Amino acid sequence: MPLKLDCGLFKYDFIDYHAILCVPIDADAKEVRKRYLKIARRLHPDSSTVVGETDKQIAHELLSKLVNPAYEKLSVERNRAEYTLVLSQIGKRLGQASASVDLNTDLAKELAIAPNIDLLYKNQITKIATTQFDELQQASRIISQISELNLVYLMRKSGQLIIQPQLPNASPPRTNLAPPTPPPPPPKEDSAVEQYVRRAQTLLQKNQFALAKVELQDALRLEPRNSRCHSLIAMAYLGENQLRMAKIHFDNALKLNPQDKLALEWKPKVDKALGIKPGATQVNSSSNHGDKQPDKSGSGGLFGGLFGGKK
């Protein structure tokens, strides 16, 4: 299966080794090695838990064609220094032509205008790294997504803003002494939790359930009693056919808000799929009662209408 990398720095015929390992542009040798060992445990046939011939083949290609060369390039101080210098030059060159650079992902667009670019960039890289190789058939897309973040970061750090804020037109001189009309209050900024929720909803719409869970887990660390976060993370677990985890969070959502619409709609369906009758407190065993096992194929049934089947 060919590994298609066509976004971010790869779009400009440049191999983005940092994106392959999902480490920041300024990662040192120790950080590179730590990340490489974690990826190698996931992909190497002697330690991998990958099943299925297709995924095993993808794991082999990722490790041999991308991950190992990336580690060889970034683990040696001299190689990394030369490579970083080339990166900085590419960032300056693309920064000067920023008007012609198209961004494909919401994360990259957010980074392009973020006031605190270093903090947001590091947070984005760290989050993606937790699930980068969970779904091997999506690995190329995720690496391309990381490379687009690296592209934006390099352009911003070169001093070339990708999106320049528009300055308001100069007001004509006033000819009367009447006090100026006060400007309307600035729009209220979303809280951190609301930003996590908004990103998670976008990811859920794209069936990127693992990334959506990361956003919602961060939100729940800030507001553990947010019923909306519980119901949304339950939907992410549903998308991965993890029914029991979905039930736990739907239950939490309804404890916090008995009127939560999402939980009210989907909890009965989850209970039914698990063989739990209305009002029951325990899951009935299918081996004892002959209940039909829930469909976990991801190809239809409970989840087909919402998520469109297994991708």
CA nearest neighbour of 150 among 22, 4, 6: 22
Q: Which amino acid is at 45?
A: P
Please report the pLDDT score of residue 164 as a whole number.
Answer: 42
**Confidence band of 187 (pLDDT split at 50, 70, 90):** low
Query: What does the pLDDT look like over 276-285, one tens digit per residue?
Result: 877 655 433 3
Q: Hey, what are 279's tokens?
A: 């009002």
pLDDT at 245 over 70: yes
> Could you tell me the two tokens for 199?
């990103």
Query: Which of 204-208, 256-260, 279-283 is the least confident region?
Result: 279-283
Lowest-pLDDT range, 97-106, 150-159, 193-202, 204-213?
Answer: 97-106
pLDDT at 44 over 80: yes
Q: Does pTM surpass 0.85?
A: no
Q: Determine contact, residues 67/36, Cβ cutoff 8 Å.
A: yes
pLDDT at residue 25, as a whole number = 92
The pLDDT assigned to 183 comes to 66
119/116 Cα distance (integer angstroms): 6
Which tokens is 146 given?
């990381």
7 torsion bin: left (phi>0), alpha (psi -120 to 50), beta (else)? beta
pLDDT at 304 over 70: no
Q: What is the pLDDT of residues 57-84, one digit of tens each?
A: 999 999 999 999 999 999 988 888 888 8
Q: Class of 192-274 per CATH?
A: mainly alpha
Residue that is written with structure tokens 């985890």 in the block: 245
User: What are the C-alpha distances in Å from 179 to residues 16, 33, 103, 182, 286?
Assistant: 56, 64, 44, 9, 77
18 close to 88: Cβ distance less than 8 angstroms: no
Of 227 and 169, the one with more pLDDT = 227
* CATH placement of domain 8-161: 1.10.287.110
Residue 309 in this model has a pLDDT that exceeds 70:
no
Radius of gyration of the chain (CA): 24
User: Which helix H or strand E contains 192, and what residues bound it?
Assistant: helix 192-205
Identify the CA nearest to 122 among candidates 31, 29, 24, 215: 24
Number of residues that make up the chain = 311
Domain ranges of the chain: 8-161, 192-274
